[in-house]
Amino acid sequence: MLCEYIAKGKTIDDAVANGLEKIGLERDDVSIEVLETPEKGFFGIGASPAVVKLSYEGIAPVITEEPEVEQKVDKKADKADKKAEKKAEKAEKKASKNKKGFKKAESSTEFVSEVIKLMGYEDLDIEASESENGLDVTVSGEEAGSLIGHRGETLNALQYLVSLFENRENEDYSKINLDILGYREKRKVTLEKLARRMAITAVKSHRNIYLDPMPNYERKIIHAALQDFNGVSTYSTGVEPARKVVIAYSGGKGGKHHGKRGNGGYRHSGINAQGDAEVKE
């Protein structure tokens, strides 16, 4: 009787070894067919195991898992045990935080280095460290500025890739903060200045100002900058990726009204490299 058994493993040899162990035979006793070769993926993303088929003459063995032993446990005692286990797990996680943080920093720098090399950039300095806000990754070097992109679009895409890589198998989500040549702080200052300038315009004109679409973290900067600004309120409107901030006039005292009255508001048409903005009717 010809029997078959399908086995898996990280490598083809591992898959064969796993199968032989299950059926209790030697390698010379079976014929091996490779069904799927292992795929490493890109830094573990999209990886898949090797799959082999072992064919042999004989009676197919009955392969079963060890039966679970049923135990009657008092509910209160069971809850206490679970609490104790959770406390032990938390303590273990806390104790290994620094070690894990080092491993994450090391893997993130390696990942970013490989990605930017594929983009054609080399000789850039990459550093990563744990902070209260998550994992901070910084990139510097002569050509690093080219990786920022228009209004940080390339930088944001790289940050998303690093976040996807670091959290692909982790139970605890790690926030990734990727920065290039201090762009994040410079952009924050630019947006805060823009927010105040547009708020003044809204109060003076008694009209709402619509800013260009921005990513979520930039909209938060606008909202925070104007939360205590007299005469305006802010809210977001639209659907991603075209979601934008509206600086709404709320009746505060402002300067002399400028421009024609009407149903429409003023619209912010863009921010240039210096953070300047044009306001049009």
- Going from N- to C-terminal start, the domains of the chain cover 2-57, 97-181, 188-280
Same fold, 97-181 and 188-280: no
Q: Which amino acid is at 280?
A: K
pLDDT (0 to 100) of residue 232: 94
Of 110 and 45, which is predicted with more confidence? 110
User: For residue 232, what is the enclosing H or E element?
Assistant: strand 232-237
Name the average pLDDT for the chain. Answer: 77
pLDDT of 170: 63
Write down the pLDDT at residue 179.
92
* 97-181 CATH, one of 3.30.1360.70, 3.30.300.20, 3.40.50.720, 3.40.50.980: 3.30.300.20
Q: What's residue 266's pLDDT?
A: 40
Could you tell me which CATH number the domain at 188-280 has? 3.30.1370.50
Q: Measure the CA–CA gap between 73 and 82, rounded to whole angstroms.
A: 12
The residues, ordered by sequence, that sit 6+ positions from 196 with a Cβ below 8 Å of its Cβ are 225, 226, 229
Which range among 63-67, 165-169, 171-175 shows the weakest confidence by mean pLDDT?
63-67
pLDDT given at position 68: 44
Mean pLDDT of 196-220: 93
Q: Evaluate if pTM is beyond 0.85.
A: no
> Which pLDDT value is given to residue 70?
46
